[in-house]
Every structure is written in C-alpha cells, then in structure tokens.
Chain A
Amino acid sequence: MDAKVDKTLKITTPSDLEFAMTRVFDAPRHLVFDAMTKPEHVRRWLGSAEQAVLGCEIDLRVGGGYRFTMRSAGGVASMLQGTYREIARPERVVFTERFSMPGFTSEEYQVKSSFVEAGGKTTLTTTILHDSKENRDGHLNSGVEKGVAPAYDRLAGVVAAMA
C-alpha cells in the first residue's frame, strides 16, 4: 500500500532573505507536529554525530520560550533558543530563534514550519527568514566561509604577528 516516500532533505532559497527545508515523513501530521514540539519526543531524535543535543526545554504557548543546548564532538557548547509566535496544531508553528556559542551569537531569525498531510504522509516545510541576505547566507554556511572565517583567520594572523 505504501508508495515509496522520498526522504531527501531539500533546501531551496525562495527569496534573498529566506531559505526553506522540505522533508516528507511517513506518518500523519499530528504525530510529526508533536514529535517536533514536545520535549520528551524531541530528545529522542534531534542531534547528529557531530552535534549532540544535551538539553531540551519547551514551553509550547504563544510567547513561551524554548532552549536546546548542544555540544559538538570537539567539546564546544552551543545553544538554539527562541520564542513561540504562533501555534496552530497540527498545521503550523512559528517561532523566533537565535544560535549562540562562545564568541558568536547569531542575529534573531524567524522559523515557520508547516505540516501538510496527504495519504497518511506529511510534508514538512520549514522556512527560515533572516533580516539580511548576509545572515541568511551565513546560516546556510556558504556565507560564513566567505565572511566570518577569513576575518578570524586574519585575526589569528595579527595575533601571531604580535608575538
């Protein structure tokens, strides 16, 4: 009965200020919505080999906050945190977010996740809106290579030269 689900994560740039991630899940949308918004569920799946999620607090109401604390394989702590702006279970959730780690805090950006169900499968589209193209590109990480990293390299060079 199951048509093959294409589980590829697709990343597109709908405008200069946005990028969008699209992913299909083989489950009804109320389950996908809950899995992404309840801490006891989020703890079970969020994280990667190089970025472990250690803590997860969610106050799921408009104006409520959330905080995910992480640690990289190299031991660097970081945090994703923000505030819920709109909660329409199981269709849509909108929140603001900021990423921080020692020496770096991102600008605040807006995240909108929409859940569309068809035939028992859910298409999740997460659109991330930044207030500048530079920040959008930085988030997608191409811009970081061009912007911040060379600045840090120069800085490291300056510091080395002072010795």
Chain B
Amino acid sequence: MSDPLSATFAALADPTRRAILARLALGETSVTELAEPFDMSLPAISKHLKVLEHAGLISRGREAQWRPCRIAPTSLKQVDGWLGNFRRFWDESFNRLDGYLQELKANEMVHAAGQTKQRGRVRKEKQRGRKSG
C-alpha cells in the first residue's frame, strides 16, 4: 500500500473496472445505467465502484438520490504536493501558532502572579495566627 500508484493499479487490474472507467470517460451516469451493459447484479457493480472510488479514480455525487458516478481526473492530480502545498501548510500553521503562544505566555504570567499572591496571603495568615495564638 505504500507505493503511491498501487491502489490505482490494483483498481485498474480488473477488466470490468476498466470498462466502467471507459464508460465514465463519456460523462457521468447512474449506477443502474452503468450496470446495464454488464451481466452483473447492482451490488456487484457497487463493489467495483467502491474500489474505484477508494483509488481516487472516480467520485460519486451526493447531490442526487441516484448518486451520479463520474471520472475524477482532478483527484488523480491531487497527490501533487501532498497537503495542497507543504510549505504553505506549515507557514500558515506556524503564523497561527505565534498568536496562540502569546496567549499561552500571558496565561502563564497570570497564573504565576496568582500563585505569588496566594503565597503572600498564606504567609500573612500564618503571621496573624501566631500573633493571636
């Protein structure tokens, strides 16, 4: 699974799946329409579609009940540059981290100041205790 193309090639190893892709290259269609030329049940076709979808070769619409299937040439290219753009991902993240660190620093200072105040109060109370006792 570690080879980037293995899922794609595994998906393409089957002649039915290649035929499905060839049909989808003509335009999007429903599962029922796709199943027509094949001597296969709908669940069997659905299984093939799942493999193709997992390999990123097709996408399935959610906008309609019949979930149109279409070939996904853009998803084929999305591997390019992982994370969209590696550098931009970290650059933007670290810029946000700058702001967040200032928040953490401020929290820590407030916390430290609170502790000093509390220690002072305890000392005073102890002194008071000694005087009265």
Contact = CB atoms under 8 A, between A and B. Distances in A.
Interface residues of B, number: 52
Give the secondary structure class of B's interface: helix
A87 interface: no
B122 interface: no
A35 B101 contact: yes
A32 B4 CA distance: 34
Given A21-B90, A106-B2, A27 B104 contact: yes
A159 B80 contact: no
Interface in B53-83: 53-57, 71, 73-83
A61 to B, nearest CB: 22
Given A148-B79, A152-B79, A155-B76, A107 B2 contact: yes
Nearest to A27: B101
A160 B74 CA distance: 14
A151 interface: yes
Contacts of B102: 26-27
Contacts of B119: none
Contacts of A104: 4, 7, 56, 79
A31 B105 contact: yes
Interface in A106-163: 106-108, 138-141, 144-145, 148-149, 151-153, 155-156, 159-160, 162-163
Nearest to A9: B91
A45 B97 contact: yes
Contacts of B85: 50, 141
A44 interface: yes
B63 to A, nearest CB: 13
B87 A11 contact: yes
B18 to A, nearest CB: 6
A102 B56 contact: yes
Contacts of B12: 155
Interface in A25-60: 25-28, 31-32, 34-36, 41, 44-51
30 contacts: A7-B95, A7-B98, A9-B91, A21-B90, A23-B94, A25-B98, A26-B101, A26-B102, A27-B101, A27-B102, A27-B105, A28-B105, A31-B104, A35-B97, A45-B99, A46-B96, A49-B92, A51-B84, A76-B78, A103-B55, A103-B56, A103-B76, A103-B79, A106-B4, A139-B86, A144-B81, A149-B80, A156-B73, A160-B25, A163-B23
Enumerate the 4 nearest inter-chain pairs by beta-carbon distance, A residue then B residue, closest first: A103-B56, A48-B92, A163-B25, A141-B81
Interface of B: 1-2, 4-5, 7-8, 12, 18, 21-23, 25-26, 53-57, 71, 73-102, 104-105, 108
